[in-house]
Amino acid sequence: MAYIPNTDQDRQAMLEAIGLNSLDDLYTPIPEALRFTGELNIPSRYNQIALEKHYKTLGNKNASAEEYPCFLGAGIYDHYVPPTVGAITGRSEFYTSYTPYQPEVSQGVLQSIFEFQTLTCELMGMDVANASMYDGATALAEAAIMACELAGRKHLLVPDTINPIYRDVLETYVRHMNLTVDTLVTENGLTSVESVKAAITSETGAVLLQQPNFFGAIEDVQAISAAAHEGGALFVTCVDPISLGLLTPPGEYDADIVVAEGQALGCPMGYGGPLLGLFACKTKYLRRIPGRIVGETKDGDGKRAFVMTLRTREQDIRRERATSNICTNVALYALAGAVYLATMGKQGLKQVAELSLQKAHYAATEIAKIPGYSLSFPDAPYFKEFVVQTPGDAGKLNEHLMSKGLIGGYALGGHYSGMKNAMLLCVTEQRTKAEIDALVAALREFEGNS
């Protein structure tokens, strides 16, 4: 076995040293009735060459964005990944290490996380950030729980413009903490500040808002933040980190806790996992943050060094009184995020955001010209995604687009009743004018066929 170095001779010598006769003897601590002596009902082994063929066969059955221009977003995005990201995350000094419990031999991971935290803060305009969460959805759920604990209140006000999957995960999480989600039904693709003011009560611990929201539209974050604070609630936002190349950062509109799905920062779409949850907040809440935090300190020679810190918040020390049960997070994806942001930098990230914005607006404008199509929320400003009314079932339309070699949008009917003929389209900087024109042509054809 290529991954197991010891040979039969080694094993024999080791068994002799231990004073046992056979490998079976190692299992005498397990009562005989509980030992498994049969053959597992799993596939037979593959040799290395067959295994390589097998994964390629499986991979080739999938419609990757490498092969098909992708106009699908809805939380997972096909943004450009510069080659620096793979070069660094592919270094096994990083990917074959673990949580830096021993800082003297883990300065690489520790410093990269410290830089990731700083980049997150710079991007969001926030004071402090943690070392990552599983994904945007669980980060939002953790932020909601933390906000209610800080406010000492039990209700969350959640507009339906927040990603429906995030709301599903939020519901699952907070139900067990005896918190209640009050859903705010919105109109015209935007959350109105009046509706927030009307819905907020003395029991509202936090108002949650996504910016840009699930429909790609840009919310009036300043007014809603003010309304939340007026009502004595915390303001929690969930943002698209790429959009922050262009959009006002949450720190400037007084957000208390900010989370994000960071996948677009150099992480693979990877069929939806692993992902990268970003989590930042105001300094005064630092000691309530879930998960790992890296801080600066000094070593025995007085040199700058980094270490996991404020550890008494965490499960391995505080046990049932920890701020969260999270342990392993996604350090390698945080590293990808740090390399991505370092590579893109001040100019590059702005350019990615601007290209996405311009191309999305070109696509939307052209699509709205096709007979039978229109923008669902024509008055809402948007970033890189927008909702289109389609002349027929959006799922069927996607099948048509795939037959033309294009990955279409997100059919909204499953989560929003009355939006069966509506599709959320996404245009990133990766899409060329030719690809957008091909999409427009394919959409036009569908209209002609229906």
Q: Please state the φ and ψ torsions of residue 53, each to the nearest 5 degrees.
A: -65, -40
Shortest distance (Å) from residue 86 CB to other proteins: 8
Dist. CA 238–CA 161, nearest whole Å: 11
The residue behind tokens 């290529």 is: 2
Q: CB-wise, 187 or 433, nearer to other proteins?
A: 433
What is the DSSP track for 191-206? --HHHHHHH--TTEEE
Contact assessment for residue 390 and residue 378, using Cβ atoms and an 8 Å cutoff = no
Shortest distance (Å) from residue 236 CB to other proteins: 17
Dist. CA 179–CA 164, nearest whole Å: 18
Supply 433's token pair. 């004018």
CA–CA–CA angle 259, 263, 265 (5° rounding):
95
Dist. CA 62–CA 303, nearest whole Å: 50
Q: CB-wise, 202 or 417, nearer to other proteins?
A: 417
Whether the bond into 274 is cis, omega within 30 of 0:
yes
Closest CA to 278 of 112, 427, 78, 136: 136
Q: CB-wise, 232 or 413, nearer to other proteins?
A: 413
Shortest distance (Å) from residue 71 CB to other proteins: 10
Q: CB-wise, 414 or 448, nearer to other proteins?
A: 414
Q: CB-wise, 157 or 364, nearer to other proteins?
A: 364
Shortest distance (Å) from residue 310 CB to other proteins: 6
Contact assessment for residue 337 and residue 133, using Cβ atoms and an 8 Å cutoff = no
The residue behind tokens 């687009």 is: 401
132 alpha carbon, distance to own chain's centre: 10
Q: CB-wise, 94 or 232, nearer to other proteins?
A: 94
Q: Please state the φ and ψ torsions of residue 416, each to the nearest 5 degrees.
A: -125, 110
Q: CB-wise, 345 or 448, nearer to other proteins?
A: 345
Shortest distance (Å) from residue 195 CB to other proteins: 19
Shortest distance (Å) from residue 232 CB to other proteins: 24
Shortest distance (Å) from residue 189 CB to other proteins: 14
Q: CB-wise, 57 or 417, nearer to other proteins?
A: 57
Cα-trace Rg, the chain: 25
Shortest distance (Å) from residue 172 CB to other proteins: 4
Determine the residue type at 242. I
Closest CA to 130 of 330, 300, 291: 291
